[in-house]
Amino acid sequence: MSYIVAKDLVKHYGRGESAVEAVRGMSFQISAGEFVAIMGESGAGKSTVLSIMGAMNAPTSGEYIVDDINIYELKREQRADFRREFLGFIFQSFHLMPYLTVAENVMLPLAIVKVSRKEKVAMAQDALAWVGLADKANRLPSQISGGEKERVAIARAIVNEPPVLMADEPTGNLDTKTSGDVMDLLLKLNGDGMTIVMVTHSHKCAGHAGRILHITDGRLQEVLN
């Protein structure tokens, strides 16, 4: 049974003459536990479809269903709850808060989770240990390397153990060795049962996924690997 179902997704930005058709009718299904890579040229619509899948960007038309929940029929607050509970998201440029420490950044998704501060600190510390950054918890983002920032972003995405992780070019700004380390972490999470959807430009990274979706001009090119 498919865990994630996208039906005829369309996304237009703007209206009239200046309208951009970023996604032009995409349908696909993803099973629980899959690792799917999304590839395509710059401007093909990868980030747009990932943000729709991340419950952050309503499609112009079409349906998006996760675990039998029709995401864009939810009220805004319910959708925010869904996002917090079900999805970890790694943005293209980390999106770390510069004035918060590494540990505080990792704790952000727990802000309104009903557990004690002490427990939140422990959860953040566990996530940081898991990505190998236990000793950097009290640094500021400006005091760690690019690869470490990426690992902080992963720790933040998994701190509340969501079933699905989405990553937009997680290795885009990293050297080969560091991006290999990041891929190893993602593969380990997938091995533990997490469903992963990753946008990437790297054929090498995409090769680790179970399936590749190729996007050209807002359309799915092929679904076969």
Ligand X SMILES: Nc1ncnc2c1ncn2[C@@H]1O[C@H](COP(=O)(O)OP(=O)(O)O)[C@@H](O)[C@H]1O
Of 26 and 128, CB closest to ligand X = 26
Comparison of 46 and 120: residue with beta carbon closer to ligand X: 46
Contact 190, 202 (CB under 8 A): no
CB of 164 to ligand X, least distance (A): 19
Residue 48 binding result from ligand X, Mg ion, none, given CB thresholds of 5 to 8 Å by partner type: ligand X
Question: Of 47, 101, 160, 200, which lies in the binding site for Mg ion, with binding defined by CB under 5 A?
Answer: 47
Helices (H), 19-166: 46-53, 76-86, 102-107, 117-130, 146-158
Provide, rounded to whole angstroms, the least separation between the CB of residue 112 and Mg ion: 29
How many residues contact Mg ion, by CB under 5 A?
Answer: 2
**Residues near ligand X, by CB under 6 A:** 13-14, 20, 22, 40, 42-48
The rounded distance, in Å, linking the Cα atoms of 127 and 159 is 6
Q: How many CB atoms lie within 10 A of CB 138?
A: 10
Residue with tokens 């950097």: 136
Residues 6+ apart with CB under 8 A from 75: none
- Residue 105 touches Mg ion, criterion: CB under 5 A: no
Residues that bind Mg ion (CB under 5 A): 46-47
